[in-house]
Amino acid sequence: MTAGAAFSRGLEGVIAAESALTYIDGQKGILAYLGIPIEELAEHSSFEETAFLLFYQRLPKRAELEGFQSELIRHRALPEPILDLLKRLPRTAAPMALLRTAVSALGHFDPKPDDVSTTALQEKALRLTAQMATLTAAIGRLRKGLEPIAPTTDLSHAANFLYMLTGQKPTEEATRVFDVALILHADHEFPASTFASTVVASTLSDIYSSICAALGALKGPLHGGANEQVIRMIIEIGDPSRAESYIKEKLARKEIIMGFGHRQYKTYDPRARILKRYSERLAQQTHDTRLFQIEEIVEKTVIEALGGRGIFPNVDFYSGTVYHYLGIEPELYTPIFAVSRIVGWAAHIMEYLKENRIFRPTTRYVGPPLGHYIPIEQRT
């Protein structure tokens, strides 16, 4: 360890890079991409436009957006050997593990996988964004013993994903809700997965290796998967009349309530506010408000107990019910995170490599003092 260097376990609070992509004020509950508040993007933008914004660090003109959308559509289809590979892998494998394997294999179909020039990375980022959705939908179907559905050329990114997953063209409302969910998850500064991808990229490795590192980090339950655990908890509660006592019992046992608290937010996660509205709207449209009612009681109970310590709902709390109302199984919630966050991962990689410096932190040595090798016959 360098003399006088500060130590922060988990690098908490350490500034490891500069970025123009995402601004967060955790005390005020502010999140913005390139200075545009997330509320405005969720209200007026689309996932494709948000992806362009993060990739190129500006909003597109109409012709640019249309061209970007056309390129995403052109790259949706997967190489046939990738689908064959997915079919040969165990159906019991975790979807995130399948996704990681498939992305690694995609690198073999890139004629210049090691080209990390700006233009090449932009093309690879766009292609990976298109294909991550196709991969995830295919994995979702293969797990159920169903054949993957080929992507369409006449639907938006969000609508096409839901179509490939279910086999039915989604309603305008379902498409809009899922599109908003993708926008909200597109980037969030430097969490473990984004940091992992950037560390790998800083060695000038290929982008497929970097994204596999991100997927590996996201697979961990301390990063991805919280919304899956939230929906399972809500379903386990089962009835609004049980919600308050269920949560109070967990709190008395000092158990973690999934979907609450965030390393950065000490107030209500702005993404959770948006998703709560959509969750309520979907609950009313499906005439099944029971799960949403349970969530509202859980939220009220937790905030009354822990709000004074800055623990409020995060993005995972209401995204689980949103996906549930859209008919998506919990095992796909984390891969869907990747369908969106591929944009943020790629954007950070491209941004960091413009002024690249390989990551090489140090450690604080806590082992024995310097000594000498002891021959084996002299050891006691």
Show the tokens assigned to 150: 């080929």
372 is catalytic: no
DSSP assignment letter at 178: H
294 touches 234 (CB < 8 A): yes
3-9 long-range contacts (CB < 8 A, ≥24 apart) are: 5/362, 7/364
Q: Is the dihedral of CA 161, 165, 169, 174 positive or negative?
A: negative
Output the CA torsion 32→38→44→50 (10° steps). 60
Catalytic one among 262, 269, 324, 348?
Answer: 262
Q: Hey, how many other C-beta atoms are within 10 angstroms of the C-beta on 374?
A: 9
Phi-psi region of 167 (alpha: psi -120 to 50; beta: other; left: phi over 0): left
262 is catalytic: yes
209 touches 360 (CB < 8 A): no
C-alpha–C-alpha distance, residues 231 and 64, integer Å: 39
223 is catalytic: yes
Which residues neighbour 39 within 8 Å (Cβ) at sequence distance 6 or greater?
270, 274
Positions annotated as catalytic residues are 223, 262, 316
